[in-house]
Structure 1
């Protein structure tokens, strides 16, 4: 379901530019109606129900706001705002349209409540996991996502490690994912879309790391599952980068994933831990149809028991961005 959005402002050049960008880049989110006449706005807002309205101060005075679920004041930063209009949430008119859209989605997620679009998500979830740390799990997750993004798919990378690797790979200029942790009762699909960033080089969408690692630790298994599924709204693929543990929270995410990449390198410790998981954990048999063993850093898989395998080369670099981009272009990487 698209959000019914009304744009009411007399600046026709601005309205034309804004509506054109929304049509070209956000047509999956919004059904846009435009009005530049105060008289027509009063009629339109009276007979049609809108979920969100972006209104200049002069237009807001003429609109019938009771029929609009979320009226937002599109403010130029100079026009005086008085009376009842002071109660409206202000949105800066002159800013990047992507930031404007993010504000709309974040505000609407608060008033629409949870579940408005639950069930609409059709994105596949791929979990990237391993029983041992240091095997290159994050670069494999990013390489897989970048490979799909290069093929034109909409990919969201969600890092759920205890200490995030995101700052080492992407700019941190946006809102923290902690914003979503604090608003789990909102429309999570919209909220996650409002705060996610996009890397121009790889095409991957991602989230800025938590404000504090304890923010992640407070989440329940069900909270994490809802977050993962919410990331799929407006995406084709969600790539989960999971910590090297197998507690109830990770098991919940492995269970909801459509496929699982298990990343191992040539270390005896890593393969020993994998064999223990395989032989001792009762979920192995349930997960087997979804498992793909990734023999990373040029190693060879050991004692494969029916799992599919992917072999990745060793990339000699200390830069994780260089590593994942090289792996994403490797002919041996099966995305």
Structure 2
């Protein structure tokens, strides 16, 4: 059974406390039990009860009451002036994104508490699906991002991972952050730290409710990613334990990186288009896969994009067909953001159901005590 961390948050700023606890309860209901206090007396009474607390996250004005003793794993101060590790208790900057704050707190917890149990399980429930085509211009990234968005709409927690050296996804997913995929690469050899860094460095597109990484600083970083490093990244994505689905977008060459993705993922959407060049490349793909030592037939869904309804095109080979639609991605003049054509998105929604199967929605709850 997955361990649920008990986190006590104490801050006299009720608006801040409500916002932070809402984030924790909504985003991590399966992993964290949140208890919160705004008054010293209530906090002290809870501490004296002797009940085990994994993390006490407390503002300086309430910290004087936290004679925590042995029932608190670690005490972390919510500071307005930034991170400090040299005082009696470490501190974190309270005014940052919820993901960054939680990532820093969990880093301190796992580093400071001997035998601390992971709260995210082993990722056995996470399904990793690669979207791949041997043909350039097949609409792969549009389908991959749209698939992630539609899977999220179905109630799943979703991560979109783009491993193309030159990505177009930034035109469809929008967010800001200080860290990018380059920062994740620094921890690929740090098995114990990688999941926490993924949680800290990810960003979220609020329109589609999909998490992702900002692009790396250089395309060469992705081109040089080897088989072992890629495998470590995928295992890290599983061990994060936050996602029902991870959608991986890869480029056409059967590089070490892409071979590792196809080898280690749970399912593959193999995209083709009706044009002659793509049909030729699809014809030689089985031989190339065999040379690379890959057997992927058992986990592959073949998708024909821009299907014109022609009889005999990939006859008997297509598991799913997407219609030819002009302007699959549209610019919303009012918001300035790109949006998916609703007709095409409806077909992707059906594809998402095929990929995922039935899912149960989580019940999210939390409470605040005065």
Shorter-chain TM-score bucket reads 0.7 to 0.9
1:49-198 pair list within 5 angstroms = 49-63=52-66, 71-76=75-80, 84=87, 88-93=90-95, 99-109=97-107, 112=110, 116=118, 117=120, 119-174=122-177, 175-184=179-188, 185=190, 186-198=192-204
| TM-score w.r.t. length of structure 1 | 0.81
Alpha-carbon distance between aligned partners in 2 of 1:240 and 1:265, rounded to the nearest angstrom: 20
1:1-335 counterparts in 2 under 5 A? 1-12=3-14, 14-16=16-18, 18-35=20-37, 36-37=39-40, 40-41=43-44, 44=47, 47=50, 49-63=52-66, 71-76=75-80, 84=87, 88-93=90-95, 99-109=97-107, 112=110, 116=118, 117=120, 119-174=122-177, 175-184=179-188, 185=190, 186-232=192-238, 233-282=241-290, 286-299=295-308, 304=314, 307-317=317-327, 319=329, 321-323=338-340, 326-330=343-347, 333-335=350-352
1:318–1:287 Cα change, 3 Å:
closer
TM-score of the pair, normalised by structure 2: 0.74
Q: 1:172 to 1:17 in 2, by over 3 A?
A: closer
Tell whether the 8 Å contact from 1:7 to 1:34 is kept in structure 2 after alignment: yes
Q: Cα RMSD over matched residues?
A: 3.6
SS at match of 1:294: strand
Paired residues of 1:291 and 1:307 also in contact (CA < 8 A)? no
Q: Provide closer, same or farther for how the CA distance between residues 258 and 107 of structure 1 changes in structure 2, counting only shifts above 3 A.
A: same
The residue number in structure 1 matching 2:355 is none
Structure 2: give runs of 5+ residues left out of the alignment: 331-337, 353-370
Q: For residue 281 of structure 1, report the CA deviation from its aligned partner.
A: 2.8
1:22–1:115 CA distance, 2 compared to 1 (3 A): closer
Report deviation, 1:253. Answer: 1.4
Tell whether the 8 Å contact from 2:147 to 2:348 is kept in structure 1 after alignment.
Answer: no
Alpha-carbon deviations, 1:207-236, whole Å to 9, x = none? 211122233345432332333343342221
The 1:109/1:304 distance shift into structure 2, 3 A limit, reads farther
CA displacement 1:185-223 (0-9 Å, x = unmatched): 244333323333332332322221112223334543233
Gap runs ≥5 in structure 1: none
